[in-house]
Structure 1
Amino acid sequence: MDIVKDDLQSHQIKALLQEHLDDMYATSPAESVHALDIEALRQSNVEFWTAWNEQELLGCIALKALDSEHAEIKSMRTAHNARGKGVAKTLLNHLVSQASARGFSRLSLETGTEDYFTAARTLYSGHGFVECDPFADYVLDPNSVFMTKQL
């Protein structure tokens, strides 16, 4: 598996991100969806990586800088055909390493409370993330779980 910094131009990544947004809106109320669209992922405070097996896109993840010490995980997604193969774990480990290398001392995320997000919450808690209060511009939401990890 190769992880590369991605320019968000390929049709494969555009399709995976659209699938991600479609699933988020199908799972959670619109006001509780915090997934970024492709334009938001192109902002200067966001770094975006994709995982590949040759020409096959396996998944993606983004790091959004909130300030000089705090960053957020965004757009974590594994392609359907790659689920259960360790892609999410590999991408998460890569992002944590990148966040540490860039000097961030805290890494946080928002995910859903619905059963659909159980695997994500389990992955994050298994990697040292703990539940926390809302951060950045988030507010308490019965459909959101906020998690953080000191780096």
Structure 2
Amino acid sequence: MPEPQISIAPEDPRQPELRRLIALSDAYMQALYPAESNHLIDVDTLAAPGAVFLVARRDGEALGSIAFRIIAPDHAEMKRMFVRSEARGFGLGRRLLHALEDVARRQGIDRISLETGIRQPEAIGLYRASGYRDCPPFGSYAADPLSLFMTKRLRS
């Protein structure tokens, strides 16, 4: 029997199944960090014009997500990178990240920045291996000992 295919495509995050996926992401982050160090954005922000929310599915089931929102001309912030626990360890995060970068390039975005927590070594390793470099806080972020800020130029 053939291996089930993974699809990654933009979707509306307000769908009930995707709200549940986002709730799982929230619970995961809330278990790792205090409220003041969690920089979660809500579903309406993820569905706003200019935002992109990608979902990875296998056999119709949502396994993970990643998003970006525009924060300045040609500059986007990555948000909501999440893979369900049972789907981790198979390269799905890398596939989501690459899919998001491809969408950003097609939209003319030159740089993606992100904030992640220091208690997520797998995510940090993925970002660094994918060319993201440490940077100072950007946008409205303030320095936080539990946060790491990273950025990547998509065009040379």
Q: Does 1:22 align with 2:1?
A: no
Work out whether residues 73 and 109 of structure 1, in 8 Å CA contact, stay in contact via their aligned partners in 2: yes
Distance 1:47 1:60 in 2: 10
- The gaps in structure 2 that reach 5 residues or longer are 1-5
1:142 maps to 145
**TM-score w.r.t. structure 1 length?**
0.94
Deviation at 1:77, TM superposition (A): 0.5
Match of 1:65 among 39, 50, 70: 70
Work out whether residues 13 and 47 of structure 2, in 8 Å CA contact, stay in contact via their aligned partners in 1: yes
Deviates more, 1:6-15 or 1:133-142: 6-15
Report the 3-state secondary structure (helix = DSSP H, G, I; strand = E; otherwise coil) of the residue aligned with 1:66: strand
Distance 1:34 1:49 in 2: 19
Counterpart mapping for 1:123-134 below 5 A: 123-134=126-137
1:101 maps to 106
Distance 2:60 2:107 in 1: 29
Please report the RMSD computed on the Cα atoms of aligned residues, expressed in angstroms: 1.1
Distance 1:68 1:128 in 2: 21
Q: Does 1:121 align with 2:90?
A: no
Deviation at 1:57, TM superposition (A): 1.2
